Amino acid sequence: MEANFSRTQSDRKKRQAKKFGDPNNPLLVSSRSGAKFSMPGMMETILNIGLTDEVVRGIIDTTGNDRFAWDSYRRLIEMYGTVVMNVPDEAFEHPLAEYKYEKGYKLDIEMRAEDWQEIVGTYKQVYKQETGTDFPQDPYKQLSLAIEAVFKSWNGKRAVAYRRKEGISDSLGTAVNICTMVFGNMGEDSATGVAFTRNPSNGKKTMMGDFLINAQGEDVVAGIRNTEPIEHLEKYMPKAYKQFMKITKRLEHHYKEMQDVEFTIERGTLWMLQTRNGKRTAKAAVKIAVDMANEGLITRDDAILRITPEVVDALLHPQFGDAAMEQAESEGKFFARGVNASPGAAVGQIYFEADTAEKMAKEQHQQVIMVRPFTKPDDVHGMIASKGVLTSEGGATSHAAVVARQFGIPCVVGASSIKIDLEAKSMTVNGTTLKEGDWISVDGGSGKVFAGKIPTTEPTLEEQTELMTLLKWADEVCARKNIRKGYPSTGLQVWANADYPKDAQRARLYGAVGIGLCRTEHMFFETRRLPIVQQMILAKTSTERIDALNQLLEYQRKDFDGLFEAMNGYPVIIRLIDPPLHEFMPDEEKLLEEVITLRATGKMQGLKEKENLLSVIRAMRESNPMLGLRGVRLSIAMPEIVEMQVRAIFEAASDCVKRGIKAKPEIMIPLVGTVKELEWIQPRLESIAKKVMKEKQIKFTYKFGTMIEVPRASLTANRVAEKAEFFSFGTNDLTQMTFAYSRDDAERNFLVTYQEQGILEKNPFQTLDREGVGELMRWTINSGRETRPNLEVGICGEHGGDPDSIEWCHIIGNNYVSCSPFRVPVARLAAAHAALKHKPKKQK
């Protein structure tokens, strides 16, 4: 080992030569919570100690650099005072600011040696005033108090809060490291710099860094002097450069990760000050992981685990291009930065009031960004109408943040540098003012806000070869046998929810290997079909109803045909009609208004008809439609509709098979609560299936199954599985019933309060509630497979695209998850993560 990672690792001789209190060697006392070096965002307390009047005089005597000596001394007194002795920051900041004001200085760099010397005197007085004691002139006393302070910091407010947030145990404890410092500002044979071992922006395998000759680390970061690119170091100090390249390569190999290093060269000797895993963009992350796996540095499994599913999401959603962002910054368009509360890029015109925002969006068809100091339930309608939301107050769990995430609206909160003037309808940062109607660009991913419009890009999956590779590997992980105990022994498959052939095509493109949910009723809402649906509902005789249904049959057969064709060879789960019939009828309230107006104004024409229609619609009204006549209940009351649907499915499938397409229909019966519902309806439908196949002289396999969305179906899953050949968790409704939350009502209402108050950690409609709904699902699977050991189990609620929920689906033994086609890549990676994280322990 040629270089020294820190003084503690340097050769003993040198160490012994440096004495404590040596002006060249102030000590550094720091703590890290013990766990592991690379823990992200680790809390750290760093203290410089070892300077006293005597030591400072020694430094000046030895080096002649009195400005360096006095500046270092005042820093030390301030840091020591605030950290060790709890002197408030202002006690030091105020006198310094006053001094600079009197002298007419703006920046610290204008301070000369004698200025700092005077400040040291002031600081010593402040120190005595605040602590009642003189600043200690014994380095050993400084050391012991500093050590004590580090240990105390473990129970400091910030440290405790941080541990809570990150789930770090309180009993872990902290360590104290003591080491001497090196200096990059000891002359032209000294330097300091920072570097990434690969390009953190695009992931290319080239070292990227900056350095300065004769400087300290903070000079590099401060950007006061122009740094030089790392490769120039070779010119100035070829030996050190060569050594640096060798060490960084070794570090990358050691940590098997791209490194972000800090180094100092003191009088020709290279010292590595720090190394840690480098931060990078989503794009770089994927490239580096895939490259490293291809280089053999890490395994493919490691590569998969390095990329969080959120990264994949970011890569597939509209975003501001890197170049565009950089350009905007260079053009001075950067406006403010806040908390990145809800990801995505949004560009729009600003409005400061919910009603106006909604109006501009709906009536003027503007792209709107709603700006508020903070939001309240009254503002939700404006937020929903907006492309993005920006607030100057609040944190990641504020009302605005919670609501924005709920509705997938890009959002930055707590951008506290912004002053909002609601009266004037404007906002200001550092003298730049934007008014109502001005354009801004909000990056919910980074929390940055820009004035003006930044172009967004919408990347496609096909163009991202490294991502394609990674997802292929992810699929391979899931396809491995015995990755789970019991049935199924392979990992999760990823299917997609698709109502139309074009959705199914996208699903295939994004790697889905089945349709987990086709909502047939969406087909009913189309403009040309809706009148026929209404005719069917209002039919007074069975003949009338069958007439209307026969018309619908044509449409539905065509829809299904396209689906089977797109999914050639893959299963397609088609859910029979689910919503209550009144959803297909004209709006009751509007009709009521018309009727009352006609009556009040004495216009009788058409009144009778409208009154009749109104009374029909009223008769359909339910006090809680969510818990009413829909799903299988509707099918039992009015079997003609689903009989038509099953005929359409099997006719379409037969036609496809005749054309050489492999159709694999699976019929899903929704809202089942007892096996007796299936016992009633399933034989009727199966007989239609058989009849159609006989008519068409075609045979193919099919399944009948059920959605699990009613708690009672879960609780009696062993019975339900007697008839159902597959289960698909409708976790949206299952969550509604299990929590007794009406999603529409709750998400705009108490659910926000609940998250703000910490009663719910996450929105259970976005991330499966493992403790309640999740355990019920586990029970359901185990119970269902008691009856039918190879029961196919999936999930088709929105949770099917949420990584945390996908992990749970893996743990409890789902066969697949099904989500929106756009989420399929995310789900594929998440499924592989789950498989790798929960590998069964090997039997000894």
CA distance 196 to 260: 5
Q: Name the segment binding its own copies (CB under 8 A); options: 249-257, 295-303, 570-578, 753-761.
A: 753-761
If one asks whether residue 604 binds its own copies (CB under 8 A), the answer comes out as no
Q: What's CA 292's distance to the chain center, in Å?
A: 25
DSSP character for 378? G
Query: How far apart, in whole angstroms, are the C-alpha atoms of residue 418 and residue 339?
Result: 13
Burial 127-155 (b: 16+ CB within 10 A, else e): beebeeeebbeebeebbebbbebbebbbe
Residue 777 CB, shortest distance to its own copies, in Å, is: 11
User: Radius of gyration of the chain from Cα atoms?
Assistant: 34
* Residues 79-108 close enough to bind its own copies by CB under 8 A: none
- Of the residues 142, 174, 398, 738, which one makes contact with its own copies according to CB under 8 A: 738
Selected binder of its own copies within 750, 762, 782, 787 (CB under 8 A): 750
Binding segment for its own copies (CB under 8 A), chosen from 66-74, 409-417, 506-514, 628-636, is 628-636
685 binds its own copies (CB under 8 A): no
The reply on whether position 592 binds its own copies by CB under 8 A is yes
* 809 near its own copies (CB under 8 A): no
The Cα 637–Cα 95 span in angstroms is 83
Binding its own copies (rule: CB under 8 A), the pick from 6, 428, 568, 742 is 742
CB closer to its own copies out of 286 and 678: 678
* 3-state SS string for 402-428: HHHHHHCCCEEECCCCCEEECCCCEEE
Q: Does 673 bind its own copies (CB under 8 A)?
A: yes
Do 483 and 490 touch, CB atoms closer than 8 A?
yes
Q: 604 vs 740, which CB is nearer to its own copies? A: 740
Choosing from 622, 695, 722, 786, the residue that interacts with its own copies (CB under 8 A) is: 622
3-state percent helix, strand, coil for the chain, nearest multiple of 5 = 50, 15, 35
E strand or H helix that includes residue 61:
helix 53-63
CB of 479 to its own copies, least distance (A): 33
CA distances from 386 to 128, 344, 353, 435, 782 (A): 56, 13, 11, 17, 44
Decide: is 696 part of the binding site for its own copies (CB under 8 A): no
Contacts of 573 (CB under 8 A, 6+ apart): 495, 514, 515, 516, 517, 518, 666, 667, 668, 705, 726, 728, 794, 796, 818
Question: Which one among 274, 277, 535, 674 touches its own copies, defined by CB under 8 A?
Answer: 674
Backbone φ and ψ for 350, nearest 5 degrees, come out as -85, 140
C-beta of residue 25 within 8 angstroms of C-beta of residue 181: yes
Give the residue with the Cβ less far from its own copies, 371 or 773.
Answer: 773
Determine which residue in the list 167, 771, 790, 842 makes contact with its own copies, applying CB under 8 A.
771
SS3 of residue 699 by DSSP: coil
The minimum distance between CB 160 and its own copies, in angstroms, equals 20
Binding its own copies (rule: CB under 8 A), the pick from 522, 745, 789, 840 is: 745
Binder of its own copies out of 242, 249, 712, 837 (CB under 8 A): 712
Q: Which of 15, 775, 782, 787 binds its own copies (CB under 8 A)?
A: 775
> 728 forms bridges with which residues in the sheet?
707, 794
| Binding flag, residue 540, its own copies (CB under 8 A) | no
Query: Residue 616, interface with its own copies (CB under 8 A)?
Result: no
Check residue 760 for interaction with its own copies (CB under 8 A). Answer: yes
Is residue 501 reached through a cis peptide bond, with omega within 30 degrees of 0 on the bond before it? Answer: no
- Measured from the CB atom, is 534 or 749 closer to its own copies? 749
- Least gap, CB of 844 to its own copies (angstroms): 32
Q: How far is the CB of 633 from its own copies (least distance, A)?
A: 5
- Contact call for residue 810 and its own copies (CB under 8 A): no
Burial state string for 81-118 with b = 16 or more CB within 10 A and e = fewer than 16: bbbbbebeeebbeebbeeebeeeebeeeeebeeebbbb
The pairing of strands 703-708 and 664-669 is parallel
Under the binding rule (CB under 8 A), the answer on residue 38 touching its own copies is no
Question: What tokens were used for 501?
Answer: 């052939």
Count residues binding its own copies (CB under 8 A).
56
Residue placing its CB nearer to its own copies in the complex, 295 or 761: 761
> Which residue number, 100 or 778, has a Cβ lying nearer to its own copies?
778
Q: Does 772 help bind its own copies (rule: CB under 8 A)?
A: yes
Exactly one of 113, 629, 657, 698 binds its own copies (CB under 8 A); which one? 629
Interaction between residue 293 and its own copies (CB under 8 A): no
Task: Give me the least distance between CB of 354 and its own copies, in Å please.
Answer: 13
164 lines the binding site for its own copies (CB under 8 A): no
Alpha helices in 499-639 (DSSP H): 501-509, 530-538, 542-566, 588-600, 607-620, 632-637
Between 188 and 744, CB nearer to its own copies: 744
Catalytic residue ranges: 399, 796
Identity of the residue, 330 or 601, whose beta carbon is nearer to its own copies in the bound complex: 601
605 near its own copies, rule: CB under 8 A? no
If DSSP codes are grouped into helix, strand and coil, which group holds residue 65? coil
If one asks whether residue 407 binds its own copies (CB under 8 A), the answer comes out as no
Asked if 295 interacts with its own copies (CB under 8 A), we say no
Cα 401 to the center of its chain, rounded Å:
13
* Contact status: 146 vs its own copies (CB under 8 A): no
Amino acid at 377: P
Q: Does 245 bind its own copies (CB under 8 A)?
A: no
Q: Which long-range contacts (CB under 8 A, 24 or more apart) does 258-261 make?
A: 258/196, 258/197, 258/198, 258/200, 258/288, 259/196, 259/197, 260/194, 260/195, 260/196, 260/200, 261/194, 261/195, 261/196, 261/197, 261/209
CB of 717 to its own copies, least distance (A): 11
- Nearest distance in Å: CB 778, its own copies: 11
Nearer to its own copies, 728 or 736 (CB): 736
- The bridge status of strand 726-729 relative to strand 703-708 is parallel
> Quick one: which of 636, 657, 661, 698 contacts its own copies (CB under 8 A)?
636
**Min dist. Cβ of residue 425 to its own copies (A):** 24
Q: Is 587 in the site for its own copies (CB under 8 A)?
A: no
Nearest to 40 by CA among 52, 32, 48, 29: 32
**Does 202 interact with its own copies (rule: CB under 8 A)?**
no
Least distance from its own copies to the Cβ atom of residue 506, Å: 31
Are 26 and 50 in contact by the 8 Å Cβ rule? The answer is yes
Q: Is 744 in the site for its own copies (CB under 8 A)?
A: yes
Query: Does the protein bind its own copies through residue 42 (CB under 8 A)?
Result: no
CA angle (140 as vertex; 134, 141 as ends), nearest 5: 35
Task: Return residues touching its own copies (CB under 8 A).
Answer: 589, 592-593, 596-597, 600-601, 622-629, 633, 636-637, 671, 673-674, 676-677, 680, 709-712, 715-716, 719, 733, 736-742, 744-746, 749-750, 753-754, 757-760, 769, 771-773, 775-776
